[in-house]
Amino acid sequence: MGMLVVLETLSPTERAVFVLREVFGFDYDDTAAATERFLAAASTGDMAGLVSLLASDIAWTTDSGGKVRHCATSSWSAPSGWARS
């Protein structure tokens, strides 16, 4: 409950930095670099820049949201059309 209160009081940028530092254990230099790269890519609409911030082994899983009968599917790479640099 206390964590939720803390997260709700922070701005989106402060929240991202807090989670990177406290949850994932990034040091301050790595947190600053990742935040700057993300904000630069997001503010310019640079999709390749955003995708380059993702881990190379991410999994994208869908389950259709319960709206249709469908088996869960997974993709182990960025969706087609997304470039990695």
Each residue's pLDDT expressed in tens, for the chain with a length of 85 residues? 788 888 999 998 889 888 888 888 888 898 888 888 888 999 998 988 888 887 777 766 666 666 766 555 555 555 555 555 4
Q: What are phi and psi of 66, to 5 degrees?
A: 75, 10
Quote the DSSP letter at residue 76: S
Phi-psi region at 15: left, alpha or beta (left = phi > 0; alpha = psi -120 to 50): alpha
- Biggest alpha carbon–alpha carbon distance for the chain: 46
**pTM for the complete prediction?**
0.52
